[in-house]
């Protein structure tokens, strides 16, 4: 038997009721603050493919431009994809890329002024941008791998600022 929301563990799962059923958290009493989150994802491929990617020379075209727009669009669609996410008025979404010898690292940053954080929007943007890169390179590398999807930093809200470096 799995016990959910046990008061003994000190960390109740906020999206589950006492009976274990899911619900959307009531955030109506929370104060509005400026909130920001940055997430990352990495696509691993070959040096040859990364050279094509950086030069915009892939058969499907400019993969990074497509992935950037896909990531931005995905951040805006997060509550449609992740059932218990609140719709938020996103103020800014950026999707940037760092090309390595055999990797492309995606950095997605999302900002809002609202009552709940934007970690899920940043994760969704990074994930979908990585999927778009994969889609654009799969014609030349069927063995590409997506990894390392995670939140790197968040700021704002009751829990304050946090980063992987802190």
Residue partners of 92: CB distance under 8 A and separation at least 6: 109, 110, 111
Whole-angstrom distance, CA of residue 129 vs CA of residue 117: 20
Contact 28, 114 (CB under 8 A): no
Contacts 24+ apart (CB under 8 A), 92-95: 93/121, 93/125, 95/67, 95/68, 95/71, 95/125, 95/126, 95/129
Paired strand residues for 16? 22
Residues known to be catalytic = 135
């Amino acid at each position: 038997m799995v016990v959910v929301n046990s008061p003994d563990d000190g960390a109740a799962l906020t999206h589950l009721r006492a009976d274990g059923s899911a619900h959307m958290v009531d955030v109506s009493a929370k104060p509005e603050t400026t909130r920001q989150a940055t997430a990352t994802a990495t696509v691993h491929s070959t040096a040859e493919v990364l050279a094509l990617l950086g030069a915009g020379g892939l058969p499907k075209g400019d993969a990074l431009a497509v992935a950037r727009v896909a990531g931005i669009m995905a951040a805006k669609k997060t509550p449609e994809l992740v059932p218990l996410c609140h719709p938020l008025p996103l103020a800014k979404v950026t999707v940037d890329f760092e090309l390595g010898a055999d990797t492309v690292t995606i950095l997605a940053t999302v900002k809002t002024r609202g009552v709940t954080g934007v970690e899920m929007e940043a994760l969704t943007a990074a994930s979908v941008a990585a999927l778009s890169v994969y889609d654009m390179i799969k014609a030349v590398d069927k063995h590409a791998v997506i990894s390392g999807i995670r939140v790197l930093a968040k700021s704002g809200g009751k829990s304050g600022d946090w980063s992987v470096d802190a």
